[in-house]
A and B are shown apart, each in its own frame.
Chain A
Amino acid sequence: MRAMDLIEGEEELIHTAVGAVLQSCGTGRESLIPVLQGVQDRLGYLPRLAMQRIAGDMQLPEVEVFGVGTFYNQFRLNPPGKHRVEVCLGTACHMMGGHIILESFERRLSIHEGETTPDREYSLERVACVGCCALAPVVVVDEKVEAKVSPIRVDGILLTFEIEKKEQEAEQQREAEQQREEGREA
């Protein structure tokens, strides 16, 4: 798993979040899990810098914080992407080729399961069961259930987002131009 680069202003955000959480939970060894939960609540994930800061303030080895963060499934070490892709690998989805779908996403996005694309557009996760096994293999994209997914549908899903993004960008550009023109008129 590779570490993500921080975006602008994130460092400050991390320090304020960790500071606040440590103040409310305390710095005893027993509060490590509540602290990690609190930090993840505020930041959406556990950045490397946050783990280092927590280790320093709680006087624990950095590797121990990392060990706890990687032990529990509830913690994520990569930021959630703008679009969250969750591939179901429950029994039914596994039998119907869920791992092929996961692999398709991995290949198309050039990331591994549990990672986020460098532009933070997509994050890829595996889940155990989403409760609609008749629709296997299932993928949940931004809380929307995609049924009977095939590798072709994977391309389709990602293409939809790409088109959406392009349209949004075009719209923003148009709006910016309009504002500029209005400014000139005024």
Chain B
Amino acid sequence: MSREVALTIDDRQVKAAEGERLLWAALDNGIYIPHLCDLREAERTVASCRLCFVEVEGLRGPVTSCTLAVSEGMVVKTRSPGVDRLVRTGFELLLSNHRLHCAKCAKNKHCELQKIARERGLKLKLTRLRSLLQDVPIDESPRHFNYDAGKCVLCGRCIWADQEQVRVGAIGFIRRGIARKMATFEDGCLADSICTQCEACVKVCPVGALYLKADELRLYEPKKKC
């Protein structure tokens, strides 16, 4: 067992294992920090979602909690005007490229974006930015799941699961900028690639980009009358 360190998060004394990332130390102690891209099991943090900002005493400006290791006597604040501003903008940037139709989404009520909006009092609609969503077809080729690139937040969790966890190497990021997307070699459909359809990527997707066909069908089941 590794050594424990004591730190303060939002005026609460908490303990965490030495070397633990601040994000996970906070979550373990029931303090919520928005996050999309980091996975506890992942060796390297990508820090691409830009939502897990916190203020740490002694450090200038908000920092991403997923890239910071806990240390003895650290004083952390998860909310501040600076943090809220960054998270609000980052969140709206993600929404500007996200197909928002929660009621008809297979991940409704299990979606990380909804959770972040609820926890931080953010709106699940665009107020300042204009939608940049392109009309992309849904890849329905796998047997038990679908891939809707229009809902992908580019967190890279599925790619981690595919390349590091199950070591298949069927999916990765292609292109860049607004055209960046998760895809297979030569951007073909999943069933035509070396994908083994193990569904490891579906399990880690925080939003409705990769979802089980069964979950979608459940949406259209007639509601039971009592």
Chain A residues near B (Cβ < 8 Å): 1, 3, 48, 51-52, 60-64, 66-67, 70-71
B173 smallest CB distance to A (angstroms): 5
Chain B 151-186 near chain A by CB (<8 Å), digits 1 or 0: 000000000000100001111111110000001111
Confirm or deny: B10 has a beta carbon within 8 angstroms of a beta carbon on chain A. no
Evaluate contact between A64 and B187: CB separation under 8 angstroms: no
List B contacts of A62 (CB < 8 A).
Answer: 169, 185, 194
Mask for B133-150, Cβ within 8 A of A = 1, else 0?
000000000000000000
Chain B residue numbers with a CB within 8 Å of A64 are 163, 169, 172
- Of the residues A1, A48, A63, contact of B172 by C-beta under 8 Å: A63
> Complex: how many Å from CA A63 to CA B190?
12
CB distance from B179 to the nearest CB of A (A): 8
Which chain B residue shows the least CB distance to A66? B185
Report Cα–Cα, A81/B172, bound state, in Å: 29
* Residues of B in contact with A, size category: 10 to 19
When C-beta atoms are compared, the residue in chain A nearest to B163 turns out to be: A61
The answer to whether B175 touches A63, judged by C-beta atoms less than 8 angstroms apart, is: no
The chain A residue sitting closest to B170, CB to CB, is A63
Residues of A within 8 A of B186 (CB): 3, 48, 66
Residues of B at under 8 Å CB distance from A? 163, 168-176, 183-187, 193-194
The CA of A70 and the CA of B183, in the complex, are separated in Å by 12
Q: Once bound together, how far apart are the Cα atoms of A71 and B193, in whole Å?
A: 20
Q: Are A66 and B172 in contact, with the CB atoms below 8 A?
A: yes
Give Cα distance in the complex from A52 to B183, angstroms.
16
Residue of B nearest to A69 (CB): B174
In the complex, what distance in Å separates the CA atom of A70 from the CA atom of B186? Answer: 10
B175 cross-chain contacts in A, Cβ below 8 A: 70-71
Q: Are B173 and A67 in contact (CB under 8 A)?
A: yes
Residue in B closest to A64 when the chains form the complex, CB atoms: B172
Decide: B185 and A63 in contact? CB cutoff 8 A: yes
Are A63's CB and B169's CB within 8 A?
Answer: yes
